[in-house]
Amino acid sequence: MIAYGVHVFRSVEEPDCFVEVELPIPQCGPRDLLVKVYAVAVNPVDTKVRSMQTISLAEAKILGWDASGEVVAIGSEVTSFRVGDLVYYAGDITRPGCNAQYQCVDERIVGRKPQRLSHEEAASLPLTTLTAWEGMIDRMKVESGKTMLIIGGAGGVGSIAIQLAKQAGLTVIATASRAETIEWCERMGADHVITHHENLLDQCSAHGYPQVDYIANFVNTDLYWQVMSELIAPQGSLLLIVEPREALRIGDPLKAKCVSIHWEFMFARAKFQTPDLARQGEILNQLASSVDAGIIQHTATAHHGKLSVSSLRELHAILEKGQAIGKMVLTVSHD
């Protein structure tokens, strides 16, 4: 099979930032599905993993953690899928990624592809949905009738988080900074859109929310820590996905207000083989039902052609500049 990976970190300006390699088609473990990959999406985590590869590898590291495709073989202990099933998933960061024609993935973290979506549209959803769903519903346990501020509403996670928050009965305030990202957040269902370039506390107060019950920060933990501490309501909850660069003060006013802080790392269940690993498959199947019922919409905004060295360089450059809206997707060729 053909796959695309990196030997060592290089700038996207360099032609050999990514390499095309020919590898054996992987063999299924007992709980694995072998998936013929038809489409993939890119995520900020792809650029982060690429940047961490500071020592040159003899064998290329395959990136990519959002895919849609067809099951072509199953492991000896697989019970939930058959050959021919159409699936979508984010995968496991401890295993080779989906920037390849074929990939093995544990059946427990796989869902059945929404029927109404193309493979490219379906590939836009798994990682970001699992991140938002696990963080907001499984960990924060959001309650209907309350308020949520989503910092980074037009990004991949923010786009699906707005929709999930609205379905949960929340009033949603999202941040965006450009006309096109403001329009996108409104399209996703945000009740109010404010700019993250100006004082969030003042803007929320202007909309009648001097405090909010939940804050989901999908952008920069350090930059917004102080204002989040001021804006969060007593007994409120913070959701974080970006590791801070500096030590953060977690005492007052957060302690005084009994604020809960929740970290979300979508790969944790697979990385640590937690007893609730199959929860991810359950979430993706629930999502597929909501998509097919017209309740949740996909977040693919740009199709950049076929998976290749050049297309990966292009998409990683967009992500590194922080210019992405929703999700960018690629078709995987099997010619």
User: Residue 5: its pLDDT value, please?
Assistant: 96
pLDDT digits (tens, 9 = 90+) for 282-326: 999 999 999 999 999 999 999 999 999 999 999 999 999 988 899
Q: How confident is the model at residue 166 (pLDDT cuts 50, 70, 90)?
A: very high
User: Which H helix or E strand runs over 90?
Assistant: none
- The answer, as to whether pTM is greater than 0.85, is yes
CA distance linking residue 177 with residue 180, whole number of Å: 9
* Average model confidence (pLDDT) across the chain: 96
Mean pLDDT of 147-154: 97
Mean pLDDT of 230-256: 96
Helices (H) and strands (E) in the chain, counts: 10, 16
User: Residue 126: its pLDDT value, please?
Assistant: 98
| DSSP string across 242-261 | S--SS----STTTTTTT-EE
Q: What is the DSSP letter of 329?
A: E
pLDDT digits (tens, 9 = 90+) for 121-147: 999 999 999 999 999 999 999 999 999
CA distance linking residue 262 with residue 148, whole number of Å: 14
% of the chain residues with pLDDT over 70: 100
Q: Which domains does the chain have, with CATH numbers?
A: 2-125+298-331 (3.90.180.10), 128-263 (3.40.50.720)
Q: Identify whether the C-beta of residue 300 lies closer than 8 Å to the C-beta of residue 121.
A: yes
